[in-house]
Structures are given as structure tokens and as C-alpha cells.
Chains A and B, each alone.
Chain A
């Protein structure tokens, strides 16, 4: 069990800076997901924690102890790699036992723990096989077993599910979650898949170009994105984003004939004439008869996609196309005109110039 403190992490590759003074505190037993598009520095950061990449600047502490100069073999960390990284010349059994052999654990004890781990991961029948005789999912389970068996202080996962097909990915995601609930080992998990991040994380760190955009619970990053980047990156279907301007009275947003009235508390953060981006999740665009007390807008249904219990509707409002997600029973026919309303609690405002959320702190309290 361990806490991890990252202070002003910098990674420099020659003239290129891959990480810009990143700070992060990870609680004991916490499941933290580093999320971002490729090249954002998330894997680099993970490898710096593991000791596989040199720390160009800043301090890494595990349980309060500085780790910068400790080689990876002495950090008591286990890592699961994207391409599994199993030892091809060893059986699944030996792959899992390899770390314990180094610790000079007695043979019967190794055997007991390997079998116990294999049981937990449903690998019992495959222990005698070499990695190339195993499927991708089985290989990744062996890799997880190899990481678990040492009962390390910290688990690191580097996009462990991205080489698997969709069904397996879902299965293993659940297994990772269960394992964490069982073992409560401090975990850092890297992914570019926002759904994986949302389902697994206690805390999500959204990264972009070597900077941290937002740190928060899955709810916080979903409902109160700190920036336009986070708003675009999190959520599927994505958040609707509309460029608008604050009206002279300071109480309304206007664009293209579309006028949205704000509640006074929200309007207090704005000044007349300010350019903003309005964000609203597809679920918070409602059919007007289901939402009382707000402005109604006429919109044309352009396209509907039945997704099961819900239907995704692409509607045109003035010159803007919006996506809304409605209960399938409320769906409208393509080409028809419907009345829609913006749920006030779903409105998010971003400064158009900086891309940062306006008053997100107050909203995050709501979330």
C-alpha cells in the first residue's frame, strides 16, 4: 500500500519537452487513470513512475520517500504492458513465478501462490502453455497474474486492453476493477479510451500536450469539464458546443437568432459582449414538453439513430446542428419539427478565448 506524490514532473527529450511540470497526488489504494490522446505524455509519466524513463525534473515520492534515483527493480512496482511483454521462452506458470524466484521464496510457497493467482484469473488450465499458445486475452491475464503475485506497492497499467477486441476488452475491464476492489493496491492506469477511464477510475487525470487539463472524479470531469478540450474528449456522443455572445443586458446568450436566458447567479460571472462557448450534453437537450420553465426552440430533426433504450437525434436549430439523446419512446420522425429546451442545470460555459470553464467550481459542487 502506498501513496504517490509527483511534484513538478518534467520530461525532456533533447529540445522537446514531453511533460511540463506536472503535479499529482495519489492516495493510498486509489485507482487513478491517466487519460489523453496519443502523445499527451501519459505513458511517459507512467514509465517515469516505473523507473523506465529518467526523470528530467521534479520529484517522485512513494510513501514519502524520494524515488528519483532508485532503480526500477527496487521500487516495488509491478507493471502490465500494452503488448503483454511475457517471456516467450517460459510457460505461463514460469512467467508468473519469475518474480517470486528472484525473491528466493520457497518452492512450495511459490507453487501455492501461482496456483492461487491462476485460480483468481481463470488461468488454471493454461499454466503449462507458452505465451504463443495463448490467446490475447489469456496472455494479458498471465501478465496481470505476474504483476499481482508479488503483492507490489503500486500497480501500473500501460494501455493494457487496447490490443484486445471489444468483447474481451469489456470482460478484462471488469476483471481489473474487481481485482482492484479485492486487493486495494494503489493503481495508475493509462488509456486513451474515455469509457475505460470513466468506468475504472476513482480519479481521472486528463492530459494534453504534456500538461494536466483537469484532475477529478469521473463525475466531475463528465459534468464539469474544466476546459473545452476536456468537454470534447469526455463523453460519447460528445457534448454540444455552441459559440455565443453575452447579450447587452448581461442576462442572455445570443447567436444566430438563438437566445438562451441564464439564471442570475450564472450571469454574474459574465460581462456584456463577452464571447463564450456554450456546452450542453446531448442528454440535457430535452423535448420541450418534458421540460418546464425554460425557453422553447423550434428545431428540425435531421437524422435519428436508434441505440437501444435511447435514440440519438441530430437536430438543426437555426444554423447550428445539435445532438440530443432522448428516450426511444419520445423519438420524432426525420424531417419533422420539434420543440426543444435547454435544461438549465446542464448548461456549461467556457471562455471562447482561453477555452477554460467559467465558474466551473460552483458547478462542480452541483455535480
Chain B
């Protein structure tokens, strides 16, 4: 198919509009404050690591990074441990429940996060676990388990039933069939599902903002930079934004591959 010149122009304009802020953030994160606030933007400047050093030296950032790693790691771990077998069980053992369960699971994601957060604050306060990593992990598990189930079901549906039957005729138990046949065949799609879930919880701001004041996560810290004092620390904001975006960025290629597979399978 030949694209006209007009189409090419639109693509370039859109790409520029989308990527330029990201690029500018990246550049600014290596600039001194003087270079950032200068009225005439500079493209040639003396790069500095100072912003990154400052960000990483900030206690709240260290604290937030630790919290984010623990909270996201644990909730993702629980999500995989429960979500993957649940998706398999739905596909193979309760197909009649599949559409209802999937809708329920998806409907958890329809709700505005704040609507979830307020009742949770009440419950967690009553239980005496409000503003702990544990309560945040518990809340995030809702997201991780439901998202992994939702994306795991099509992953297991792609596994031909016959190969599982063949394995069971070769003497393997149901669990062994799951572990040695279904899981390895579904794993490329499942990895995509897990990474996608990771990005969702890693970037989550609203629930974390509502549920924590001491045990905040990295997005909360990054958001708080914008409201610090009179002089806006642009360099630090830019550096922390890049740091925050880095882990999801590293996975983006893998996720793109996953989405390709997902949509190609749907057609």
C-alpha cells in the first residue's frame, strides 16, 4: 500500500508531538537548573549526573523505591501464583463459568481507584494495617490477580487440547500435564501478561496516594516533587521521571511482541 505525502506528514507530526516531551525530559534530566530555566532552550550543554545523584540521594526516593520494589514484587508474585493456575482451571475445568468470571474480573478494573480506596482505608484502619506495605500489597493483588487471569485465559486457550490429552495418555498426572505441557506452551503469552500487569501496578498512583502517607511508592514521591517549595527543582523532577519510567521502558519491546501475538491470535 502506498501512503500519500499527507499521511507521512501526519505521522511525523504525531510522532514529534508524542516523543518530543519524552526526549526533552531526558535531555533536561542531564541539565543544570541554569540550563533548564534559560529563556532560550539550549541543545548544547555540559551534561551532568548531578540530578540523578540528588534524586537517588533523597531519602524519600530511596524509601519509595524500596517500597515500590517490595509492593510490586510481592503483589506480582501472588498474582502469578494464583492467577496463572486460576486461568488454566477456568479454561480446562470450568469453561461454562469462563465468561462470567472474566466479566467479573474485568469489572474490578472498571471501578475508579478512589472508589476502591476509601472503603479500603476504613477497613485497613479498623484492622490496624492502614498505611503499611502489607495493605498496599493486598490491594494491588486485586489488580494483579484479575489482570493475569484476564490475559492468562486466552494464553491457555491457545494450547491445543489434544496435546494435553496426548500427555495424559502417556501417563502424566493432571498437574504434570499443566507444568510440562500447558505452561511451557502458554509461557510466551503469559510473560506478556505478567509484564503488562507489572507496568500497571508499577505506575499506579491514585490508590497508593490514598492508602499511604508513610509507606509511599515511587510514583507518589515523583508526584510530590512538583509541590516542593518555591523553587521548582526541574532537574530532579526530570531525573526522577526518567528513573520511574525506566523499568517499564525496558519491557516495552517484550510487551509489544506480546500484544502482536495477542491480536494476531484473535483474528
Query: 9 new A-B pairs (CB below 8 Å) besides A71-B168, A78-B169?
Result: A52-B168, A72-B165, A72-B168, A73-B170, A78-B170, A85-B165, A87-B163, A87-B181, A150-B170
* CB-based contact B160/A99 at 8 Å: no
User: Contacting A103 at CB < 8 Å: which of B165, B167, B171, B181?
Assistant: B171
Residues of A within 8 A of B162 (CB): 81, 83, 85
A71 CA to B173 CA, complexed, in Å: 9
B172 interfacial contact with A, CB 8 Å = yes
A50 interfacial contact with B, CB 8 Å = yes
A98 interfacial contact with B, CB 8 Å = yes
Q: Provided the pairs A85-B160, A88-B185 are in contact, do residues A102 and B169 lie with their beta carbons within 8 angstroms?
A: no
* CB-based contact A83/B172 at 8 Å: no
Number of residues from A at the complex interface, CB < 8 A: 24
Chain B proximity of A329: nearest CB distance (Å): 50
Which A residues are within 8 Å of any B CB, using their own CB? 50-52, 71-75, 77-79, 81, 83, 85-89, 98-99, 102-103, 146, 150
A87 CA to B184 CA, complexed, in Å: 10
* CB-based contact B172/A73 at 8 Å: yes
B166 interfacial contact with A, CB 8 Å = yes
User: Contacting B167 at CB < 8 Å: which of A50, A83, A87?
Assistant: A87
Of all chain B residues, the one with the shortest Cβ separation from A77 is: B169
Of all chain B residues, the one with the shortest Cβ separation from A95 is: B166
In the A-B complex, the 4 residue pairs with the smallest Cβ-Cβ separation, listed nearest first, are A85-B162, A99-B170, A85-B166, A89-B184
Main secondary structure of the interface of A (DSSP, over half): loop
* CB-based contact A102/B171 at 8 Å: yes
Residues of B within 8 A of A146 (CB): 166, 170
Q: Provided the pairs A52-B165, A79-B166, A87-B167 are in contact, do residues A73 and B185 lie with their beta carbons within 8 angstroms?
A: no
* CB-based contact A73/B160 at 8 Å: no
Residues of A within 8 A of B169 (CB): 50-52, 72-73, 75, 77-79
Chain A proximity of B180: nearest CB distance (Å): 8
A99 CA to B166 CA, complexed, in Å: 10
Which residues between 179 and 205 of chain B lie within 8 Å of chain A, taking CB atoms? 181, 184-185
A74 CA to B170 CA, complexed, in Å: 9
A182 CA to B153 CA, complexed, in Å: 44
Residues of A within 8 A of B176 (CB): 102
Residues of A within 8 A of B168 (CB): 52, 71-73
* CB-based contact A81/B172 at 8 Å: no
Chain B proximity of A335: nearest CB distance (Å): 54
- 15 A-B pairs whose Cβ atoms sit less than 8 Å apart in the complex: A50-B169, A51-B169, A52-B168, A52-B169, A73-B168, A73-B172, A81-B166, A87-B163, A87-B185, A89-B185, A98-B167, A98-B170, A102-B172, A103-B171, A146-B170
User: Contacting B160 at CB < 8 Å: which of A50, A83, A150?
Assistant: A83
* CB-based contact B171/A99 at 8 Å: yes
Q: Provided the pairs A87-B181, A87-B185, A89-B185 are in contact, do residues A102 and B170 lie with their beta carbons within 8 angstroms?
A: yes
Which residues between 86 and 118 of chain B lie within 8 Å of chain A, taking CB atoms? none
